[in-house]
Amino acid sequence: ASGDVPPLTIRDLTVRFAGLTALDAVSLTVEPGTVHAVIGPNGAGKSTCFNVLSGVYRATSGSVRFGPHELTGMRPHRIAELGVARIFQNLALPPRATVADSLLLGRHRLTRAGFLGAGLRLPSAAREDRVHRERVREIAAFVGIEDQLGLPAGALPYGQRKLAELARALCMEPRLLLLDEPVAGMTAAERRRTAAVIAGVREGLGISIVLVEHDMGVVMRLADTVTVLDFGRRIASGTPGDVQNDPAVVRAYLGQ
């Protein structure tokens, strides 16, 4: 799939709230098929960046291009139709619906939008539904939640619920995956599982991933490129090794 994954290019992105600049002229490029980590202390602007990328917040100025498309000002469902999927920092799966139904829902939306490949647009609705259910099962197995498909999401332990959200995002067959603190609150085993899933997605699907994460072990292991934000500004960017040894980064994390 990496053949049709365009670069994501963020240029001079600024987001202001009353009296507060959450993002201050931030630029970064996510190369197709790579994992680009965005790190920084709490309040640095990481979630705000995701909120702009997914159409939840409006940029005050600057641009976000995904291939030929300008994402700023686009509505969230249009951005999703372009193949941008997101998992939130906080749990977002509806708690009463079964995991399987939540995963299927994302797929049916995309079918209607015509985003899925022509191979999946089959004549009979029943046949189409069966194909989707098979794919949901496949993705659930890949993420390691196949035994939970029949349960309401609310019945799952926290870490498994987050894995189910990752599965839901993958069910949308994204070209760009935005992961906001995917391993936060997880057990050590769930963290390893999630890191393996993300690595597998990168290898197997060739899609681009923007990873916001505080777990530096996970960032160092998975990221091709790291951008460091502090108080809304980009203070460093480079390979994991480069930024780890950057004095400005060390200062930001130690709070001067």
- Which helix or strand (DSSP H or E) is residue 185 part of? none
Query: Does residue 46 touch ligand ADP according to CB under 6 A?
Result: yes
Concatenated DSSP letters of 102-116: HHHHHHHHHHHHT-S
Of 42 and 256, which CB lies nearer to ligand ADP in the complex structure?
42
List CB contacts of 71: < 8 A, sequence separation 6 or more. 52, 53, 55, 64, 65, 79, 82, 84
Candidate list 22, 37, 195, 218; residue touching ligand ADP; CB under 6 A:
22
Question: Residues binding ligand ADP: what is the number (CB under 6 A)?
Answer: 11
Query: Does residue 34 touch ligand ADP according to CB under 6 A?
Result: no
| Contact yes or no for 141/168 (Cβ under 8 A) | no
Cα–Cα dist 100/110, whole Å: 16
Among residues 98, 117, 97, which one has the least CA distance to residue 107? 117
Query: Does residue 43 touch ligand ADP according to CB under 6 A?
Result: yes
CB of 46 to Mg ion, least distance (A): 5
Distance set, CA 154 to CA 32, 39, 92 (Å): 35, 29, 10
20 binds, among Mg ion, ligand ADP, none (CB under 5 to 8 A by kind): ligand ADP
Candidate list 2, 4, 12, 17; residue touching ligand ADP; CB under 6 A:
17
Q: Which stretch binds ligand ADP (CB under 6 A): 40-48, 65-73, 138-146, 237-245?
A: 40-48
Of 44 and 176, which CB lies nearer to ligand ADP in the complex structure?
44
Maximum Cα–Cα distance for the chain, whole Å?
63
CB of 47 to Mg ion, least distance (A): 3
Helix (H, G, I), strand (E, B) or coil at 138: helix
Of 39 and 100, which CB lies nearer to Mg ion in the complex structure?
39
Query: Does residue 44 touch ligand ADP according to CB under 6 A?
Result: yes
Interaction site with ligand ADP (CB under 6 A): 17, 20, 22, 40, 42-48
